[in-house]
A and B are shown apart, each in its own frame.
Chain A
Amino acid sequence: MKFVQCTSCNAPLAEAGATRFPCPKCGHEIRRCNRCRKQSVPYICPQCGFRGP
């Protein structure tokens, strides 16, 4: 079974508090785990390079 992984840290998006959304620039799916959201760990879109949050 393949887990969906966090875009920033590759952790599986299993626990509550995780989210998925389209990249604000290109629409590619961004996935953030609870820990990365909580600590405001940056994410970089693998498709267009957009850097969030």
Chain B
Amino acid sequence: MTGSDIEIELCEPLVPVEEYLAAGVHIGTQQKSSDMKPHIYRVRGDGLYILNVQGTDERIKTVAQFLSNFESPKVLVVTSRQYGQYPAKKFADTIGGTAVIGRFIPGMLTNQSLSHYIEPDVVLVTDPIGDRQAIDEAVQCGIPVVALCDTNNMTGYVDLVLPTNNKGRKSLSMVYYLLTREMLRLRGVKTALTIEDFETEL
């Protein structure tokens, strides 16, 4: 393999850019936070801020690589957001991680007397706003926080940002599907799973 071949391989997106666009991973909100400025590509005529799709693709790879440093059961994925629940659970089940979907019971990471008490080594949240409680508790335990962040999110206490539409059904399916696929690939595991396997039924 020549140097340029390697470069091409590294730059190859996980799925064709058109598929990212069809899933709407780049569609942000009508607000932009100062924290997310570096990931924002432009503002659309209707006032929606648009994320840089290439940045999303790169960060999916980076997050998969990062999470692979931890023992699978110690990877905690959290989502209170409705459309995140199915794909996040599928992600956790497939990689052997832990999922907390729906309501995050206060004390889950901090109160050892709770029956739901768990001790993850890293937490991945679907939305820093909706999953605030999980972030606060991760901070109290000193573990790193990874977050799917939309154009309006602040990134305080987030140690690794995955810039993406974190509200849309298709977008969340796409991101969790690709994170799963990429983590399996890093383990040398081929998968027959497709994005449909991560899609919430309407």
Q: Among B63, B69, B143, B156, which residue has its beta carbon within 8 angstroms of that of A19?
A: B143
Q: Does B80 reach chain A (CB closer than 8 Å)?
A: no
Chain A residues with a Cβ closer than 8 Å to the other chain, count: 20
Chain A neighbourhood of B65, CB < 8 A: 24-25
B144 touches A19 (CB 8 A): yes
Q: Does B158 reach chain A (CB closer than 8 Å)?
A: yes
In the complex, A27→B68 CA distance in Å?
11
Chain A neighbourhood of B66, CB < 8 A: 21-22, 24
A19 touches B159 (CB 8 A): yes
Q: Does B188 reach chain A (CB closer than 8 Å)?
A: no
A38 touches B62 (CB 8 A): no
Chain A neighbourhood of B155, CB < 8 A: 40, 53
Q: How large is the interface on B (under 10, 10 to 19, 20 to 34, 35 or more residues)?
A: 20 to 34
Q: Which of chain B's residues has its CB closest to A25's CB?
A: B62
B140 touches A37 (CB 8 A): no
A–B pairs, 27, beta carbons within 8 Å? A16-B139, A17-B142, A17-B157, A19-B144, A20-B144, A21-B144, A21-B159, A22-B66, A24-B62, A24-B65, A27-B69, A32-B159, A34-B139, A37-B156, A37-B159, A38-B156, A38-B157, A40-B35, A40-B154, A40-B155, A40-B156, A40-B157, A40-B158, A52-B161, A53-B159, A53-B160, A53-B161
Binding site for B on A (CB under 8 A): 16-22, 24-25, 27, 30, 32, 34, 37-40, 50, 52-53
